[in-house]
Amino acid sequence: MPIIDIIQPEDATGELKAIYEDLIKSRGKIAEVHKIQSLNPKSIVNHMDLYMTLLYGKSPIKRVLREMIAVVVSKANECQYCQVHHLEAVNHYWKDDQKAAEFLADYNKVILTDVEKAYCDFAKQHTLTPGKSTTLIIEKLKSLGESDRSILDATMIIGYFNFVNRIVAGLQIELEKEGAGGYKFE
């Protein structure tokens, strides 16, 4: 149970009601991470703009890899809420429950491309030791043919999920009662 008040969709009026309706239309339903911002409706809009840009916008990084980065960051931060939501998105592409579960347990034990593995390593390292130099891992990504734009996008996704994980943990957001399912992934 969150430790601050939230406005449920059935109680929303005005701007918040319109935002909730847009979320249902665009994403399939309203996530608890969005409801927690209901006391500041504009923050939901700004949050979703950033989320949609980073996770769904044009990028040289494939959608599934963006979701894999989200899972790695969220696991490093012990954010079960985001792990569940974004592992579901990974598995939307993989369609392999066992591989998804193994990825969550330890991505090093799953067969990944060298690029996928390097991005997962980058996500974990940059989350656990943000002040540590990322030069070596970025050089590795470049040696694998990754562009500066790809590296920028990955870095922003890593930063975004560190931000969201802290909202979720700090305000004690719990997984939706009906689970993480029901969202649009494409």
16/95 same-domain check: no
Asked if residue 97 and residue 48 are part of one domain, the reply reads no
Two tokens at 127? 């989350």
Same domain, 115 and 156: yes
Q: Is the same domain home to 103 and 67? A: yes
CATH number of residue 80's parent domain: 1.20.1290.10
pTM: 0.93
Q: Whole domain around residue 139: which residue ranges?
A: 63-170
What stretches of the chain show up as alpha helix (H) in DSSP?
Answer: 14-27, 32-35, 41-56, 63-76, 80-94, 97-105, 114-128, 135-143, 148-170
DSSP letter, residue 43: H
Nearest to 29 by CA among 161, 164, 180: 180
The token pair that represents 28 in the structure block: 């399939």
Whether residue 17 is found in the same domain as residue 74: no
Percent of the chain at pLDDT above 90? 86
- Number of structural domains in the chain: 2
- Only one residue has tokens 């029901």, namely 182
Do 35 and 101 belong together in one domain?
no
For residues 42 and 76, membership in a common domain is answered with no
pLDDT tens for 34-86 read 999 999 999 999 999 999 999 999 999 999 999 999 999 999 999 999 999 99
Domain shared by 79 and 102, yes or no: yes
